[in-house]
Structure formats: structure tokens, C-alpha cells
């Protein structure tokens, strides 16, 4: 999903094009998704844009036209720009999706295919039609990440990461949802899960991420090289 207005971010640049170590965020996300497509973990990749993100749309289209690897697997759909849920629904109906699909924001500054493999592995083992990924609020406190969207669940404060799976065949109906709630213990076992906490909604979060990245550049680089192993992370 790459069509938000970025009201909370309050900067002139569209969030998917924010620079991380010389590269726009959306490149990092797309390259991870293409790797998943090559591994036959996912079937297709769709970038949903709106009138709010014309530069992102042009960038992705240009990138796709110059890269044969992108041409075969990636498409761009412009939705109405009314709001996140309405745009998602527009995109689903435009694509006539009738199977489970995963959607995520285009402003997660580091991304790793192992994250998606982990989430899909959980989804395949639960009975619910939908899955939503949350982080406990103490993860955000640990990394000093600002967030204002907080829910209470099982007497804990949790924060949505924006990564979800829905069943496209029942998109107009309310779907029973499995909440995958990640904690600091999960991050200790699979460190790249920490990336999900850095959804860049505020300029303060972006600056905090840049500070952490510069201080721990080698750690982040090593994490990006790691890949998911089912035998190590085959738990809920």
C-alpha cells in the first residue's frame, strides 16, 4: 500500500521514497517481495498508489519498465485515495482477488523476506480467515518509536504493524481474525522482526531509525543477509 497522504509525517517527500542508505524505502520492500515471488512463496506483487503519491507511482512504473525482473511480476494499481481501507477494497476488487492475500505498508524502512515467510507460516497453521500482525507497545518504548494507534488485548497494549492477511473471497464480510502479537522475546529469536516496528508515520520515527541505523550499520547489514529457516521458527 503506497498511497497514503502522510499527514502525520508532515514532510514534502512521499514516504515510500524516503532515503535509507542511498535507496528509497519502496525499493527495499519490492526487492524482498520479488525474492518471495522467485521462491514461489507469493504469486503476484501489486503496488497500490493514489493521487496522493504520483511521484511514487511514476518511480515504480519507470523502475518496472527498466527491469525485466520487475516486468514479469509487478503491477501498479491507482485507487481512489479516499482512505486506507477504501483504497485497499478498491485494489482488491480491481484485481478480482478470490484467495488469501497479504498487504503491507510501503514505508517499512528495512524489510526481509524472512518476515513474510514467518507470518505466512503462522497463517497456514491457524483456523481464522484473517491475520493481523501487532507488536506489544513495550517494543516501541524500547526503540523510542512514537505511536498513537494503541489497542488493548489480553490486558496488554498492542500496536498494529500494518501487515495483514485477508481472504479475498470474503472481502465484503467481517472476517474472524487471528492476532499475531510479537514481543521482545520474538525479536530476540528472529531479530529482523524488529523492522516491523519502524513503520515511518512520524518524522521523529524516521530520524530515530536513521540514528539507530548509523550506530548499528553492520548489525542491520548482517540482519538483511539472514534468511528464514522453518525449523527454527515453526512456532506461534
The pLDDT of residue 216 is: 63
* Residue of 228 and 30 predicted with greater confidence: 30
* Residue of 104 and 211 predicted with greater confidence: 104
Q: Helices 25-38 and 113-123 meet at what angle, rounded to 10?
A: 60
Alpha-carbon span 233 to 217, nearest angstrom: 25
Alpha-carbon span 212 to 145, nearest angstrom: 11
Percent of the chain with pLDDT over 70: 88
Q: Give me the mean pLDDT over the 74-97 stretch.
A: 84
Residues with Cβ within 8 Å of 1's Cβ and at least 6 positions away in sequence, in order, are 48, 84, 87, 88, 103, 104, 105, 106, 162
The pLDDT of residue 105 is: 86
**231: pLDDT strictly greater than 50:** no
Distances (CA, A) of 187 to 146, 182, 190, 191, 223: 19, 8, 5, 5, 12
Alpha-carbon span 177 to 144, nearest angstrom: 29
Alpha-carbon span 128 to 86, nearest angstrom: 23
The pLDDT of residue 69 is: 74
* Residue 131, all three cell numbers: 491475520
3-class secondary structure, 23:
strand
* Residue 79, all three cell numbers: 485507487
Alpha-carbon span 160 to 162, nearest angstrom: 6
The pLDDT of residue 166 is: 92
The pLDDT of residue 11 is: 62
**8: pLDDT strictly greater than 70:** no
3-class secondary structure, 156:
strand
Estimate to the nearest angstrom the gap between the alpha carbon of 215 and the chain centroid.
24
Residue 31's CB is within 10 A of a number of other CB atoms, namely: 15
All structural domains of the chain, each given as residue ranges with its CATH number in brackets, are 15-220 (3.90.550.10)
Lowest mean pLDDT among 2-6, 37-41, 80-84, 192-196: 2-6
Buried b (16+ CB within 10 A) or exposed e, 105-139: bbbbbbbbbbbbbbbbbbbeeeeebbbbbbbbbeb
Alpha-carbon span 110 to 198, nearest angstrom: 8
Within 13 Å of residue 122, how many CA atoms lie on the same side as its CB?
Answer: 21
Amino acid at each position: 500500500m503506497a498511497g497514503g497522504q502522510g499527514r502525520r509525517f508532515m514532510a514534502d517527500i512521499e514516504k515510500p521514497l524516503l532515503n535509507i542508505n542511498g535507496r528509497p524505502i519502496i525499493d527495499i520492500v519490492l526487492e524482498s517481495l520479488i525474492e518471495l515471488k522467485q521462491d514461489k512463496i507469493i504469486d503476484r506483487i501489486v503496488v497500490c498508489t493514489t493521487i496522493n503519491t504520483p511521484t511514487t507511482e511514476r518511480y515504480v512504473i519507470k523502475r518496472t519498465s527498466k527491469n525485466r525482473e520487475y516486468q514479469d511480476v509487478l503491477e501498479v494499481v491507482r485507487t481512489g485515495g479516499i482512505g486506507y481501507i477504501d483504497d485497499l477494497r478498491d485494489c482488491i476488487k480491481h484485481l478480482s482477488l478470490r484467495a488469501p492475500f497479504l498487504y503491507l505498508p510501503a514505508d517499512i524502512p528495512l524489510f526481509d523476506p524472512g518476515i513474510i515467510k514467518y507470518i505466512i507460516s503462522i497463517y497456514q497453521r491457524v483456523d481464522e480467515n484473517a491475520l493481523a500482525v501487532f507488536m506489544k507497545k513495550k517494543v516501541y518504548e524500547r526503540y523510542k518509536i512514537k505511536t498513537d494507534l494503541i489497542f488493548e488485548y489480553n490486558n496488554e497494549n498492542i500496536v498494529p504493524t500494518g501487515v495483514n492477511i485477508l481472504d479475498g473471497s470474503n472481502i465484503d464480510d467481517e472476517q474472524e481474525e487471528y492476532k499475531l502479537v510479537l514481543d521482545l522475546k520474538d525479536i530476540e529469536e528472529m531479530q529482523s522482526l524488529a523492522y516491523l516496528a519502524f513503520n515511518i508515520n512520524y518524522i521523529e520515527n524516521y530520524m530515530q531509525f536513521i540514528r539507530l541505523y548509523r550506530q548499528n550499520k553492520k548489525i542491520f547489514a548482517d540482519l538483511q543477509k539472514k534468511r528464514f529457516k522453518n525449523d527454527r521458527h515453526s512456532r506461534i
